[in-house]
Amino acid sequence: MKVILLNGSRREKGCTYTALSVISNTLKENGVEAEIIHAVPTNDIVSSVAEKMQEADGLIIGSPVYWASPSGEIVTFMDKLSAAAGSYLAHKPGAAIASARRAGTTATIDVLNKYLTYHQMIVVSSNYWNMVHGNTPDEVRQDKEGLQIMQVLGCNMAWILKCIEAGKKSGITAPKTAPKVMTNFIR
């Protein structure tokens, strides 16, 4: 089992990376491979992640808060990834996390969760909102509650992946095709 963790920050090793590292370590402690990728929205990196998502079992999207929303980089990245690999996301567990100095995290998580739900992903949560607070990686490491939330998220992701694997072994599979969406509504 493998989870791809996307770091949507302009800073490759900043606050968002710090939070994703906690999740990555927790996944590894629970027997799940994890890879953090700096989600720079170049076509090469998007294509690489699209290829990895064919085989990956889950996805976690991380972003700092910029102007009460996700970074423009991760929004652009997810728009491109959706076009390149949207079908590879369906029925896999996914989660969104946000890092901020103070506010805007719930709005950021809301935007990122829409990518997950649009692609019929199973949204994984923690024991509180998936966020950490701090202006530097050191400050994030002092956010004990935020770090615990990241650990619980990692444990929950590993558990969901193991449940899906057990289901597959017993013959349960995800739907092959989604029902047709109604385009004309009777009023």
Asked whether the beta carbons of 107 and 69 are under 8 A apart, the reply is: yes
Task: Supply the pLDDT for residue 177.
Answer: 64
Q: Domains of the chain, with CATH numbers? A: 2-170 (3.40.50.360)
Residue 48 pairs with which residues in a beta bridge?
Answer: none
% the chain with pLDDT above 70: 94
Polymer length of the chain: 187
Q: Is the pLDDT of residue 181 over 70?
A: no
**Distance (Å, rounded) from C-alpha 155 to C-alpha 15?**
20
Q: Between β-strands 69-70 and 93-100, what pairing exists: parallel, antiparallel or unpaired?
A: unpaired
**Distance (Å, rounded) from C-alpha 75 to C-alpha 63?**
9
Asked whether the beta carbons of 107 and 128 are under 8 A apart, the reply is: no
Mean pLDDT of the chain: 94
pLDDT band of residue 166 (cuts 50, 70, 90) is very high
For the entire predicted model, the pTM comes to 0.94
Arithmetic mean of pLDDT, 147-154: 98
pLDDT band of residue 183 (cuts 50, 70, 90) is low
pLDDT tens for 51-102 read 999 999 999 999 999 999 999 999 999 999 999 998 999 999 999 999 999 9
How many degrees, rounded to 5, is the angle at CA 149 between CA 146 and CA 150? 90
pLDDT tens for 22-48 read 999 999 999 999 999 999 999 999 999
Q: Locate tokens 């901020």: which residue?
A: 100
Asked whether the beta carbons of 106 and 133 are under 8 A apart, the reply is: no
Arithmetic mean of pLDDT, 146-168: 98
